[in-house]
Structure 1
Amino acid sequence: MSVAVLIPCHNEEKTVFRVVSDFRKYLPGAIVYVYDNNSTDNTVGRALEAGAVVRHESILGKGNVVRRMFADIDADFYVLVDGDATYDAASAIEMLALASNNCLDMVNGARVSTIKAAYRPGHVLGNRIFTLLVTVVFGKRISDILSGYRVFSRRFVKSFPALSRGFETETEFTIHALDLRMPIGEIQTPYCERPAGSESKLNTWKDGFRIILLIFNLIKLERPLAFFSTVSVALICLSLLVGTPVIMDWIHTGLVPRFPSALLAVGFVILSALSFTCGLILDVVYLARTETKRLAYLTQPAPTSYDAKCFATTSILTSKVDTSQQPLYKDRC
C-alpha cells in the first residue's frame, strides 16, 4: 500500500522544512510531495533540503493546488496538510489507522488548541457558524469543516471535482463527502501556533466571505428543491404583505385604489410559482448529477487495510487521541 503526503505551499520558507521532516519521521514509508504555489522565498530549497518531492502549480490559490495534486498523484491513501507547521504530524499515524481499519474515505483532523494565538476566537466563531450551516443542510458528521488536515482514500480523491480556487476547498471536501454519504471519521488533533516569522495567508474577512458564498452555492446546487422552495415561501410572504391591504380595501369598498400594490403582489406570486417550478426541475437535474458522481466514486477500489508498521515508527496504533491529556498536546506543539 502506498501513502502520499501532500503539502501545498506558498511562501512557507520558515516552516516547510520542519513539516516535511516531521512527516518523514512519523511516516517513513510515505512519499512527501510539496507543491509550490508561486513562492517568492526559498520554500522550494528548504523543501528539497528536507527530502520532499517538489512540484509546481502556477495558478495561485489553495484550491487550484489541491486540484493539481489530486490529478497528478496516485496512491492508496493521501495525507493532506498545510505547510505552516500548525498541525501535529504524529496524528497522521492515528488518522491513517482509522481510515484503513474502518475502510473510510475521509478522516478529518479536528483542531484542538488551548493557545489563543494559534486558533483565534474570531476564527473559532466563524468555524462554528459555517459548521452549523453545513450541519443543518447536510447533517452533522464532522465538527471542524475548515480543518486543513485530512486523510483521503484513492476513491475520494479520484471522484472529487475540486471546483474551488482558494481556502474554501476544505468546505468543499466536507460537503462532497456528506452529500455522497461516504464513510468518514474524525479524530482530534493538536493545533499549534505558527512559528515566529511565519505569516498566515488566510484573510479572515475575504476568505470567510468566499466560504459562506461557497456554502450558499453548494446548497443551491445540492439541495435545489429546499433552496428554491424557501425562496418561493419568502416571495409568497412578501406578496401577502403587499397585497393584504389591497384585498381589504376591495372587500370593504369593492374598489382597488392601490393598483400598483396589486400588480406588485401579483408579480410576487408569479415569481414564487416560478421559483418553486425551478426547484422541481433542478431537483431532477441534481438527482442525475448525484447518480453520475456516485458512479464515478464507485469506479475506484474501496480502501483496504495495510500494515501500518511500514509507514509509522510506532508499532501500536490507536484510532483516537486522548484529549484529556493537555500536556501531551502542548508537548507536540
Structure 2
Amino acid sequence: MRLSVIIPVYNERATIREILRQVRAVGLADEIIVVDDGSTDGTREILQEEARNGDIRVIFHERNMGKGAAVRTGIAHATGDILLIQDADLEYDPRDYPQLIRPIQEGRAAVVYGSRFLGPRKAMLFWHMIGNKFLTLVTNLLYDAILSDMETGYKVFRADVIRNIPLRARGFEFEPEITAKILKRGYRIFEVPISYYGREFKEGKKIRPLRDGLKALWTLIKYRFTD
C-alpha cells in the first residue's frame, strides 16, 4: 500500500526543512505533498528549493485559507492508498509512522488517530489540555465513541474512505469535522500512542484555544444533525 504524507504549511520557515528531513529519514513515504497556505515569512522560497530534490510535490495557495483548506488540497492531489497528515511544526514525530499505518496495512482499521494522551509527551499547556479533553468528551457523547484525543494532528486514512467524504472546513475545525463524518459513517477509529512535543505560542503555535475551541464545539454539534 502506497503512503502519501500531506503536510499543510503556513509560515514555518524555522521548521520546514527539519520536518522534511525527518519525513525523508523514516523512508516510508511514497509521496510527500506539501501545501503552502500563503506563507509570507520565506517558507515558500525554502519549499521551492526543497522541491528541486525531486522527492516532494509542493502546491501553493496564493493566499492564506486555513489548515482545513490546505489539507483538502493535499487530499485532492494525493495518489496513495494511505493518507497521513503531518504538521510542519515538529510537535509530531515521523518516527511514529510505522505504528500509525500498521493497522491499515493489516486490514484492522480504515482510520487511525495518534493519541497524545496515550504516549510520551512534553507537557502541553494546561488550558490547551483541558480544551482538548473537553472536545474529545463532547465527541464521545455525541457520536458514541471512546476516543482519547479527537484534536490530534496525526490522522491517517485509507484513501478510499477519506475521498468519499465531503469536507468543507477551512481552518482548524477540520479536526472535528472529519472526526464527526468518519464516525457518522460507521467507521471506528483505531488509536495508537504517539510522542508529542508541544510548542509554546511564542514559538509560533497558531491555534487559539477559545476562538478555535468554540468553532470546534459548534462543528461537532452541527454535524451531529447534518452532513
Relative to the length of structure 1, the TM-score reads 0.62
Structure 1 pair 28/49, CA: closer, same or farther in 2 (3 Å)?
A: farther
Structure 1 pair 149/17, CA: closer, same or farther in 2 (3 Å)?
A: same
Please name the residue that 2:58 is paired with. 54
CA offset at residue 19 of structure 1?
Answer: 1.0
User: For residues 96-123 of structure 1, what are the alpha-carbon distances to aligned partners after superposition, in whole Å with 9 as ceiling and x for unaligned?
Assistant: 112111242211011145433xx21111
The question of 1:187 aligning with 2:181 is answered: no
More strand by share: 2
Contact 1:103 1:183 in 2 (8 A): no
Provide the rounded CA distance (Å) in 1 between the counterparts of 2:44 and 2:136. 34
Q: Map of 1:1-333 to 2, 5 A cutoff?
A: 1-50=1-50, 51=53, 52-57=56-61, 58-111=63-116, 112-116=119-123, 119-194=124-199, 198-221=203-226
CA offset at residue 130 of structure 1?
Answer: 0.9
Structure 1 pair 47/127, CA: closer, same or farther in 2 (3 Å)?
A: same
Contact 1:24 1:30 in 2 (8 A): no
SS in 1 for 2:46: helix
Structure 1 pair 89/114, CA: closer, same or farther in 2 (3 Å)?
A: closer
SS in 1 for 2:214: helix
User: For residues 137-194 of structure 1, what are the alpha-carbon distances to aligned partners after superposition, in whole Å with 9 as ceiling and x for unaligned?
Assistant: 2112421100111111111221121111110111112111111111431101010033
Structure 1 stretches of 5 or more lacking a match? 223-333
How many residue pairs match? The answer is 220
Structure 1 pair 29/149, CA: closer, same or farther in 2 (3 Å)?
A: closer
Identity of aligned residues (%): 26
Contact 1:4 1:31 in 2 (8 A): yes
CA offset at residue 200 of structure 1?
Answer: 1.0
Structure 2 stretches of 5 or more lacking a match? none
Moved more, 12-21 or 47-56: 47-56
Provide the rounded CA distance (Å) in 1 between the counterparts of 2:133 and 2:49. 38
Q: Which runs of at least 4 in structure 1 moved beyond 6 Å after TM superposition?
A: none
Moved more, 41-50 or 24-33: 41-50
Structure 1 pair 113/206, CA: closer, same or farther in 2 (3 Å)?
A: farther
Relative to the length of structure 2, the TM-score reads 0.89
CA offset at residue 55 of structure 1?
Answer: 0.7
Provide the rounded CA distance (Å) in 1 between the counterparts of 2:69 and 2:187. 24
* Cα RMSD, aligned residues only: 2.0
SS in 2 for 1:4: strand
Structure of greater Rg = 1
**Which residue type is aligned with residue 70 of structure 2?**
V
Structure 1 pair 114/74, CA: closer, same or farther in 2 (3 Å)?
A: closer
